[in-house]
């Protein structure tokens, strides 16, 4: 009886359509879609394309549009990618309005002196050139001085003065590329130079007293509305390794303050424990003939959260965005 059942079962299997035959292991045949997919992957592998380290991500990390512009700090001539930027504490928080136009502010200073800046790219290529224009007011901070709640901006005021200050700056950057880098389309070193002019316009004749201070006195010419000061700076941004950046800057300040000249040097390291979060630490050294101390050292700390995606590549005859 069992023998008859086996014979009937074998006959049924051989009389099924070809599609069913193909699904019986080990006689399963590959579909045309599977063959085409495997052939495509094989050709890509032979051509060196795809992600050979992660087969679950065949097109590599670039498919995720992860940002790759961290080396371009706020002090360089480049702007953030459109609709991308960063939120930080002691360094400028930035937002790319569109290509070549950026809005920024220094968050920690907004408590004492609300500020807003706009950076505009003039040209890019072997040499990048941008201009930065901003406005800020020290009224909230000077009001705290008058109410004896906070004395960061001054030691005393006769009344709460109204002062509006402006900054105009030109920035020039020269990127240097390393073809052997993991990010060949981004530079591994950027040298920048800038020239800035700050001045304040007072709307009152109130007296503002500030004891001589190596860092505050030059800048008080602008935020107190008593004069102007200019800043010439030279800086370097260096991509050391994948998650570590080194940044250094030399600043020369001149203006209507005692000694008319001070020197500052700032260095820091920025580390990314994860792709969109960084921690920075360093120092600021001041040298000048202002106040009792001609040499002063301040620690520098910052934390920044980066958001947005990298800019899509431009293709076509007129470099229009294609995807």
318 in any annotated domain? no
Assess whether 298 and 233 both reside in one domain: yes
Q: What is the pLDDT of residues 146-205, one digit of tens each?
A: 999 999 999 999 899 999 999 999 999 999 988 666 666 789 999 999 999 999 999 988
Helix, strand and coil percent figures for the chain, each rounded to 5? 20, 40, 40
Range of the domain at 205: 69-311
Residue 10 shares a structural domain with residue 155? no
Nearest to residue 160, comparing CAs of 116, 206, 200?
A: 206
Do 122 and 208 sit in the same domain of this protein? yes
Contact between 295 and 66 (Cβ < 8 Å):
no
- Domain shared by 88 and 208, yes or no: yes
Q: Does the residue 98 lie in any domain? A: yes
In the chain, how many domains are there?
2
8 and 84 in a single domain? The answer is no
Q: Is residue 62 part of a domain?
A: no
137 and 187 both lie in a single domain: yes
Within this chain, do residues 13 and 144 fall inside the same structural domain, yes or no?
no
- What global pTM score does this model have? 0.77
> Which tens digits make up the pLDDT trace of 7-59?
555 555 445 444 444 444 444 555 665 666 666 666 655 554 445 444 444 44
Query: Is position 316 within any domain?
Result: no
What is the full DSSP assignment across 287-309?
A: EESSSS-SEEEEEEEEEEEEES-
Residues 141/203, Cβ–Cβ less than 8 Å? no
Residue 14 sits in the same domain as residue 107: no
Q: Are residues 25 and 153 in the same domain?
A: no
CA-CA distance, 93 to 243, in Å (whole number)?
20
Do the domain assignments include residue 60? no
Q: Is residue 256 a part of any domain in this protein?
A: yes
């Amino acid at each position: 009886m069992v023998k008859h059942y086996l014979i009937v079962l074998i006959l049924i299997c051989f009389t099924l359509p070809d599609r069913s035959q193909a699904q019986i292991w080990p006689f399963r045949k590959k579909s045309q879609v599977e063959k085409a997919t495997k052939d495509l992957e094989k050709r890509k592998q032979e051509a060196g394309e795809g992600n050979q380290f992660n087969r679950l991500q065949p097109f590599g990390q670039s498919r995720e549009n992860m940002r790759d512009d961290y080396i371009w700090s706020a002090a360089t001539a480049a702007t953030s990618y459109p609709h991308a930027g960063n939120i930080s504490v002691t360094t400028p928080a930035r937002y790319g309005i569109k290509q070549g136009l950026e809005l920024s502010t220094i968050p920690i200073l907004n408590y004492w002196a609300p500020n807003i800046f706009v950076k505009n790219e003039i040209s890019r290529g072997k040499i990048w050139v941008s201009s930065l224009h901003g406005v800020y007011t020290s009224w909230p901070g000077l009001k705290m001085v008058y109410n004896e709640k906070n004395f960061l901006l001054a030691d005393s005021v006769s009344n709460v003065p109204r002062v509006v200050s402006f900054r105009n700056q030109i920035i020039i950057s020269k990127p240097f590329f390393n073809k052997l880098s993991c990010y060949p389309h981004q530079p591994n070193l950027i040298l920048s130079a800038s020239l800035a002019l700050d001045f304040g316009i007072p709307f009152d004749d109130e007296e503002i007293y500030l004891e001589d201070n190596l860092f505050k006195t030059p800048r008080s010419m602008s935020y107190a509305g008593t004069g102007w000061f200019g800043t010439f700076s030279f800086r370097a941004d260096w991509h050391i390794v994948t998650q570590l950046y080194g940044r250094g800057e030399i600043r020369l300040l001149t203006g209507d303050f005692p000694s008319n000249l001070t020197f500052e040097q700032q260095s820091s390291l920025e580390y990314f424990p994860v792709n969109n979060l960084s921690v920075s630490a360093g120092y600021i050294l001041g040298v000048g003939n202002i106040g009792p101390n001609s040499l002063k050292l301040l620690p520098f700390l910052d934390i920044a959260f980066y958001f947005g995606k990298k800019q899509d590549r431009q293709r076509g005859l007129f470099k229009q965005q294609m995807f």
